[in-house]
A and B are shown apart, each in its own frame.
Chain A
Amino acid sequence: MKKFYGLFAALLVAAMILPACAPAEVDCSKEDVFCVGLVTDVGKINDKSFNQSTWEGVQLAKQQLGANVQYIETSDAKDYEKNIATFGDANYDVVVTVGFALGEATIAAAAKYPNIKFIGVDQLQAETVNGVSGLSFPEDQAGFLVGALASMMSKSHKVGAVCGTDVVPPVWRFGEGYKAGAAYADGMNGTSTEVFVVYHSDVGFDKTFTDPEWGAQTAKSMMDQGADTIFGCGGVTGNGAITAAAQAGGYAIGVDTDQYLTLPEAAPRMLSSAMKLITPSVFDLIKAAKEGTLQSGNVYGPAGYAPYHDLDGEVPAEVKTAMEKINADLLSGAVTTNVPPVKP
């Protein structure tokens, strides 16, 4: 029996030590040392989606502003506070928290660490909290654009969206915007398109964005029902849907970034992506923080749609013109999506 205890202890110790990685030591409390920390949502830093885009913005700050940068990947929703506090206790200058789910923890941390500027990506602020800048994007407009595109490009007039949980307002806005966009294009062209939007709301925050197998199956299910264009909106779950749609020969539409560049396995069938220009927006906010001009409260970044890349030849000229017009109309306010900021 003694032998077993040794082995067992070794295994447990290995299991506990392996996930922990200590950040490099720099003294962030010094005046001339500018430190930027990033806390991810439960998705990982390399999710090819919003965590990654934010991290790229932080890395721009490293290159151009000489910032010391570090990230912590959250593996359990219970650790949000603890992970933010790691940067707080190390006297970081700016802490970027990624995702709606970290909103409350970020606001709480701002009260605890008044000297730190917090940037909350996808965190719409109900009221202005000192020290917290909530970066939001008009996801409904981005969804609207690709919804219109899907409606105009679908041959079967059935299009689908596979999303994370609708409890997260940005995700819900993507889905609703997608529907509204398809309906708008239908009205323009006299077509009638059926839109399937399926959310992965049956699981918690910890799983809803990290379930590519579910995404792939859901996309396949929609395609079995006749859909030929699939919009994947929701981190890695959406990536699964995009890959499955592309492999089945449908049109795939990405989210957050130009996923043509991040999902090479789906690239040949990537029609476009509903983009939130996270990377430049995050960089701009960090720069403003360094210069001391960062405003607390809500800050809005731009939305848009990605180029057609490989499928450029398949998109008719009139569709391209229509898309440019819709984009311009959304920016000018001539067309509105009528999607409320949060699910009623």
Chain B
Amino acid sequence: MDWKRYTFIFLIITVLFGAVVMVGISKSPPILTITSMLATTIAVATPLTLGALSGVFCERAGVVNIGIEGMMLTAAFFGWLGAIYMYHVFGFEKWPSIFTGLIAAIFAGALMGLLHAVLSVTYKVDQIIGGTVINILAVGLTGFLNRQLFFGKGSAFGGHIPNSPGNLLNIHVPLTETLAPICGGSTSCLEIVRAINSVLDQRPIAISAIVLVFVSHYVLFNTRWGLRTRAVGEHPKAADTVGINVVKMRYINVVIGGALAGLAGAYFTIESVPSFEPLLTNGRGFISLAAMIFGNWSPIGSWVASLLFGASQALQINMQIFRDAIPPGWGFLQQAYIVGLIPYILTMLILTGIIGRTIAPAADGTPYEK
């Protein structure tokens, strides 16, 4: 565990939250500001967390994955397409269709992972180029299919995009109902409970992302399989000598990474909004790559880093909400893009080693040749 780094990141997040609370104090009670920002932070961090986990699995096994963005985009498209086909063409009910979409997204991500594995493990392609190919392919493939399937001649949907069956909604945690009697008649107590409840009410993929962070951390650092994965990424020759099948380990991990990127893709079209737009992942795959490096190639670290990126987006939104209350002389806080720079500047700082060095797996990016 990298406590120094986590403390540093949490300190920054606290400062960001504190700044918003201070600015917004005349407009909104602090508890409401904090819980609203927390809820945004967790939700926004979801695709970044999953994307970073995808990177962690690939790179811990020694395969650089800069194709996360492409994997996400492909998965977002096929997840949405799967849901629509089940709903409209095969006439399934709403929830089975959405669930199929979710599976389709994970499957599409895994397939892209498999492609990356074939390129980089079997054919020993330069892994940066392999990842770039995946990113370019994803843009072309999804854009082309999106147009051909819905607007092409003889399209099953006659020139328009049909309704998606819907998206995954918040899971309500019955905290308010449980604690209401304790509050008695106090409205301020109820307000606080309700505010905390709004943080806990997250959507299914957001919750599973957090669960997956801890599962991945346990698997990578406390199981035999995780040890082998890391061995393959650090010193494949040694791993091979003791009888670990390097190629097999790399394949499995890259496909797992693809599936995780697929789940991140599903976040966009199955959970966040029920629609697909070309290029809708908007570079989040690359941000998750930064989060992974920021988090020193560990699942928990990546998650904490993703939370920082999420918090900075929450900061941008809230600084604009409280625009009128920003004290004179601090006008730069209104400039959304300046605030948006914070995580990137921090990433660069971290890369310089000021707060502990990040160390990539030793064999990261090198194909294994016997």
Contacts and interface: CB of A to CB of B under 8 A. Distances in A.
B273 A196 contact: no
* Interface size class, chain B: 35 or more
Nearest to B39: A224
Nearest to B268: A213
A225 B33 contact: yes
Interface stretch (B137-145, B218-226, B289-297, B357-365): B137-145
Q: Most chain-A CB neighbours within 10 Å: which of B33, B40, B164?
A: B40
B347 interface: no
Interface string B219-240: 0000000000000000000000
Contact of A212 (B147, B273, B336): B273
A196 B278 contact: no
A218 B317 contact: yes
Given A18-B140, A210-B280, A217 B313 contact: yes
A197 interface: yes
Interface residues of A, number: 53
Contacts of A225: 28, 32-33, 36, 318, 321
Interface string A143-187: 000000000000000001000000000000000000000000000
Given A11-B133, A222-B321, A236 B163 contact: no
A217 B35 CA distance: 14
Interface stretch (B100-108, B117-125, B172-180, B247-255): B117-125
A220 interface: yes
B278 A44 contact: yes
A258 interface: no
B215 interface: no
A202 B316 contact: yes
B137 A14 contact: yes
A80 to B, nearest CB: 17
Interface of A: 1, 3-4, 7-8, 11-12, 14-19, 21, 44-47, 75, 160, 194, 196-203, 207, 210-218, 220-222, 224-226, 236, 239-240, 243-244, 247, 264-265
Given A213-B282, A221-B317, A221-B318, 7 more contacts: A14-B140, A15-B141, A18-B140, A19-B144, A75-B279, A212-B273, A212-B277
25 contacts: A1-B124, A4-B119, A15-B140, A18-B141, A19-B139, A46-B161, A75-B143, A160-B321, A201-B337, A202-B337, A202-B340, A210-B279, A210-B280, A217-B43, A220-B39, A220-B43, A221-B314, A221-B317, A224-B36, A224-B39, A225-B28, A225-B33, A225-B318, A226-B28, A265-B166
